[in-house]
């Protein structure tokens, strides 16, 4: 995983964010071009970090893997994505549209994620046994969700600047003198301060130059 993350980072960046759609939002019988064309305003996957969720409008590099959705035959003719020859090309074209200029890799696998027991059944009743969305719940069916289409992504994006800056501020706000075990474990105060500066520098590597997160700069400049 470390080497894979390294392949998505450059210009001093070292961290990538994990995103996922579990399940990937798809109606029964819908094609991949139909699904992605319905999400032109925002991508249908969410940030997994504990940091507050943000809409990502740009990124530097990303790798996206989708399982359980084939290209299929579009139900709405004239879609730009329907001209793509393979599911990978459909997803790749969508990524280029959503994140122009970013380095993107896309992989689509036919096999969905297996969610039979002992996988926890925490899914909405609005899902079929194959993990596709319904207009209304299936009633009292106890079959459970046996598999789901899913998407996972690793992304190097400006959202990491806010996350890393926030972590740096939280660490600076703590009174470490009250945590005697922290320094008795071998950590020196100077080393800790140096690590904080490195963390701040790392956060700055995710700046976009378009004025994003300006409040973070001001809050972290003291």
pLDDT at position 138, please?
61
Cα–Cα dist 82/94, whole Å: 11
Question: Which residue in the block uniquely carries the two structure tokens 């709405």?
Answer: 76
The sign one gets for the Cα dihedral 172, 176, 178, 182 is: positive
Number of domains comprising the chain: 2
Based on the fold, state whether residues 151 and 179 are members of the same structural domain. Answer: no
Asked, for residue 176, whether it belongs to a domain, the answer is: yes
Based on the fold, state whether residues 131 and 173 are members of the same structural domain. Answer: no
Based on the fold, state whether residues 53 and 100 are members of the same structural domain. Answer: yes
Instruction: Break the chain down into helix, strand, coil percent, rounded to 5.
Output: 30, 15, 50
Based on the fold, state whether residues 101 and 174 are members of the same structural domain. Answer: no
Entry pTM = 0.79
Asked, for residue 132, whether it belongs to a domain, the answer is: yes
Based on the fold, state whether residues 106 and 92 are members of the same structural domain. Answer: yes
Based on the fold, state whether residues 136 and 34 are members of the same structural domain. Answer: yes
pLDDT at position 52, please?
63
Per run of 10 residues, the mean pLDDT along the chain (length 222 residues) is 83 89 90 89 85 73 92 65 86 93 93 93 89 75 82 91 88 74 72 88 82 42 42
Q: Which domain holds residue 59?
A: 1-156
Based on the fold, state whether residues 110 and 143 are members of the same structural domain. Answer: yes
pLDDT at position 163, please?
86
Based on the fold, state whether residues 97 and 133 are members of the same structural domain. Answer: yes
Based on the fold, state whether residues 108 and 176 are members of the same structural domain. Answer: no
Question: Which residue in the block uniquely carries the two structure tokens 């993990």?
Answer: 131
Based on the fold, state whether residues 170 and 152 are members of the same structural domain. Answer: no
């Amino acid at each position: 995983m470390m080497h894979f993350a390294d392949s998505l980072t450059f210009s001093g960046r070292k961290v990538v964010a994990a995103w996922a759609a579990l399940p990937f939002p798809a109606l029964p019988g819908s094609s991949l071009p139909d699904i992605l064309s319905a999400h032109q305003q925002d991508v249908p996957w969410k940030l997994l970090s504990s940091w507050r969720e943000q809409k990502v409008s740009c990124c530097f590099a990303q790798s996206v893997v989708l399982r359980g959705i084939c290209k299929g035959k579009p139900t709405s003719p004239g879609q730009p994505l329907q001209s793509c020859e393979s599911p990978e090309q459909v997803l790749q074209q969508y990524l280029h549209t959503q994140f122009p200029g970013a380095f993107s890799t896309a992989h689509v696998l036919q096999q969905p994620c297996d969610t039979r027991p002992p996988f926890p059944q925490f899914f909405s009743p609005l899902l079929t046994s194959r993990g596709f969305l319904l207009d209304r719940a299936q009633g009292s069916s106890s079959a459970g969700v046996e598999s789901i289409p899913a998407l996972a992504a690793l992304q190097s994006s400006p959202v990491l600047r806010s996350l890393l800056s926030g972590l740096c501020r939280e660490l600076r706000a703590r009174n470490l003198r009250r945590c005697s075990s922290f320094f008795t474990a071998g950590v020196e105060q100077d080393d800790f301060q140096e690590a904080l500066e490195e963390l701040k520098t790392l956060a700055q590597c995710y700046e976009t130059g378009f004025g994003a997160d300006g409040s973070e700069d001001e809050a972290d400049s003291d």
